[in-house]
Amino acid sequence: MVETRLRLAKPELTLKQKVVRLNWVLVLLIMLTVGLGLAVLYSVSDGAMDTWVRAQGIRIGIGFVLMFAIALVDIRLFLRLAYVGYFVALVLLIGVELAGSIGMGAQRWLELGSLRMQPSELMKVALVLALARYFHERSMEEVHKLRWLLIPVAMIAAPALLVIRQPDLGTALLLIFGGGAMFVLAGVRFRVFAVGTVAVIGAIPFLWRSLHGYQQDRILTFLDPERDPLGAGYHIIQSKIALGAGGVFGRGFREGTQSHLSFLPESQTDFIFTTLAEELGLVGGLGLLGLYTLMLALSVIIALRSRNHFGRLLALGIGATFFLYVFINIGMVTGLLPVVGVPLPLVSFGGTAMVTLLAGFGLMLSVHIHREVQISRRPGGTFS
Partner 1 sequence: MGEDNGRYKIFTRRALLVGGTQAALLAALSGRLYYLQVVRSDQYRMLADENRISLRLLAPRRGKILDRDGRVLATNQQNYRVLIIPEQTKLGDEEIDVALDRTLNALEPLIPISDRQRDRIVREVSRKRNFVPVTVVENLTWEEFSRVNVRSPDLPGVLSDVGETRYYPQGKSLAHLVGYVALVSEDDDTDDPLLTLPGFRIGRTGVERLSDLSLRGKAGASHVEVNAHGRVIRELERREGQPGSNLVLTLDSELQKKATERLGNESAAAVVMDIWSGDILVMASTPGFDPNAFNYGLTQDEWDRLVMDTRKPLTNKALSGQYPPGSAFKMIVSLAALEAGIVNPGHRVFCRGEVELGNQTFHCWKRGGHGNMTMTSATEQSCDVYFYDVSRRTGIDKISEMAKRFGLGAPVDFGLGIERSGLMPSREWKLARTGERWQVGETLITGIGQGFVLTTPAQLALMTAQIANGGLRVTPQLIKPADPVEETRVDGGLDLEPGQDSRSLGISASAMAVIHGGMDAVMNNPRGTAYRSRITQAGFEMAGKTGTSQVRRITEADREADRSIAETPWAERDHAVFVGYAPVSAPRYAISVVVEHGGGGASMAAPIAHDIMLKAQRLGVARDLRQAAAEVEAPPEREG
* Shortest separation between residue 10's beta carbon and partner 1, angstroms: 21
Looking at residue 278, what DSSP letter applies?
H
E strand segments, 29-131: 101-103, 106-112, 115-117
Which residues of this chain interact with partner 1, rule CB under 8 A? 139-140, 181, 184-187, 238, 240-248, 257-258, 261-263, 277, 281-282, 285-286, 289, 292-293, 296-297, 300, 303-304, 309, 312-313, 316, 319-320, 323, 326-327, 330-331, 334-336, 377, 383
CA distance 177 to 331: 15
Measured from the CB atom, the residue of 109 and 292 that comes closer to partner 1 is 292
Measured from the CB atom, the residue of 98 and 248 that comes closer to partner 1 is 248
* Shortest separation between residue 325's beta carbon and partner 1, angstroms: 12
Which residues neighbour 218 within 8 Å (Cβ) at sequence distance 6 or greater? 169, 232, 338, 339, 340
Measured from the CB atom, the residue of 32 and 94 that comes closer to partner 1 is 32
* Shortest separation between residue 14's beta carbon and partner 1, angstroms: 27
User: What is 335-374 written as a DSSP string?
Assistant: TSS-----PPTTTSS-HHHHHHHHHHHHHHHHHHHTTT--
Query: Which of 78, 4, 75, 80 minimizes the C-alpha distance to 372?
Result: 75
Which residues neighbour 305 within 8 Å (Cβ) at sequence distance 6 or greater? 368, 371
* Shortest separation between residue 209's beta carbon and partner 1, angstroms: 30
b (16+ CB within 10 A) / e for 342-351? bbbbbbbbbb
Measured from the CB atom, the residue of 40 and 303 that comes closer to partner 1 is 303
Measured from the CB atom, the residue of 51 and 293 that comes closer to partner 1 is 293
Measured from the CB atom, the residue of 125 and 337 that comes closer to partner 1 is 337
Helix (H, G, I), strand (E, B) or coil at 160: helix
Measured from the CB atom, the residue of 79 and 89 that comes closer to partner 1 is 79
**Cis before 225 (ω within 30):** no
Under 8 Å between Cβ of 321 and 185: no
Report CA-CA distances (Å) from 26 to 53, 170, 358, 370.
23, 26, 11, 15
* Shortest separation between residue 303's beta carbon and partner 1, angstroms: 6
